[in-house]
Structure 1
C-alpha cells in the first residue's frame, strides 16, 4: 500500500497508461470501482476479496483485517451506487434521490471500524472487521463530506469524457481535473495543438 505521503489510487486509462487519482476523501475512492447503468462496465467488485483489495489500496491506514460476506459485498455496491448518484447530483446543484440518501444513512448507522493503539504505539484497527463495518466507515465519511465545509467543492473532472468525482481541497479551490498527469495533461496537449494549428 502507498504511504499517506502519496495519497490516491493508481488507475489505468483506456490507453493502458497508469496515473494517480486522489479524490480527496475515502468515500470518493470507492466510486471508481464501478457503478450503476453505464458505469457497470467498470465493475471490479466481483468477490469479497475484491472489496478487501480495494480497502488495501484506499487511504485507510493501516489496512484492516477483514472478513466480508457475499451479502456485505452486495451492500457495498448498493452504497457505492447511491453515493455516486448523490455526489453527481451535488455537482449539478440537484437534490439527491431520497432512496440514495436512505442507503448511505442506513450504512452509516452501523458501527464503523474501531481504531486502537498497538503495543508498538502505532495506530491499528481492533480485531477482525466485517464488511459492514468497512462500509459504515465509508458511509460516515460520505456524511461528513456532504454536510461539511467542502460539500460545495465536490466536482466531476472537467474533461468531457471523464466522469471521476473528487473534492477540491486545494486552498484556492480551482482544481479542474481528476489528475494533472492524465486529463490535465491531455488538455494541455490539445490546447497546444490547437494553438499550433491556428499559427499555421
Structure 2
C-alpha cells in the first residue's frame, strides 16, 4: 500500500452528518466514489473534473497537474467496480473473480505517477500526468494490498446498511467500523437503548 500520510476522507451520511473515514489504503479511497450494482446510485465520477477532484482529496495530495480524458473516467469506474468486488470478496473469505483481477492488473500495467522531491524537501510530482498514470498508481496499490501482509485484514464495516471497505492496520487488528464517530457511535447508541429496553 502506498506509504502516504492520510487523515482520512470526509464523507456525508444519508442523514447529512459529516464524518471522517480512513480506509487505510489509497486504492480503497476510490471505492467511496460509487460502485457496481446497487451502489451505482452513489456514483460521483462522471467527468474528468470529478476524477481530478477525488485525487485532490485522496492521500496522494498534493496531486500533480492532471490531463484526464473522458475515456479514462470510464476506465476509472470499471477499475473501481472490479476493485470493490475483489476487496469485498477478500473481506468475506471468498477468492476474487478472475475477470476483476484482470481489470486490476491491466490498469496497473500502465506507467504510474512519477514522484519528485521539491525544493522544500517535500514530495511533489513530475510534470503533468494522465488519468491512466493516476489509475495505474491506484491499481498498483490495490495489487500490493491484495497480495500483502494485510490482505487478510480487508474488512467491510459492521454497521447496519454500511458497505464501506477498509483495511485494518491497527496493532490489535480489532477494527470493526468505518468510523467510530459514525457507525461505531450508532452501534453504541443502539446497544445502550437495548440495555435500557428502549425501541429504535
- 1:8 paired residue number: 8
1:161-180 → structure 2 map (5 Å cutoff):
161-180=161-180
What CA distance in whole angstroms lies between the structure 2 residues aligned with 1:80 and 1:14? 22
What CA distance in whole angstroms lies between the structure 2 residues aligned with 1:5 and 1:130? 23
- 2:148 paired residue number: 148
Q: Deviation at 1:61?
A: 3.1
CA contact (8 A) 2:55 2:61 kept: no
Distance 1:125 1:163, change over 3 A: same
1:100 counterpart = 2:100 = yes
**TM-score, structure 1 as length reference:** 0.95
Unmatched runs of 5 consecutive residues or more in structure 1: none
Deviations 1:105-141 (A, max 9, x none): 0000111000011233321100000000000000000
- 1:120 paired residue number: 120
Q: Deviation at 1:63?
A: 1.6
Which segments of structure 1 move beyond 3 Å, counting only runs of 4 or more?
none
Q: Deviation at 1:25?
A: 0.2
What CA distance in whole angstroms lies between the structure 2 residues aligned with 1:7 and 1:64? 19
**TM-score, structure 2 as length reference:** 0.95
What CA distance in whole angstroms lies between the structure 2 residues aligned with 1:6 and 1:48? 23
Distance 1:106 1:5, change over 3 A: closer
What CA distance in whole angstroms lies between the structure 1 residues aligned with 2:6 and 2:122? 19
- Any idea what SS the aligned residue of 1:19 has? strand
Deviations 1:17-44 (A, max 9, x none): 0000000000000001001110000000
Deviations 1:154-180 (A, max 9, x none): 000011310000000000000000000
- 2:67 paired residue number: 67
**Larger deviation, residues 168-177 vs 119-128:** 119-128
CA contact (8 A) 2:5 2:59 kept: no
1:188 counterpart = 2:188 = yes
Distance 1:164 1:107, change over 3 A: same
Distance 1:127 1:103, change over 3 A: same
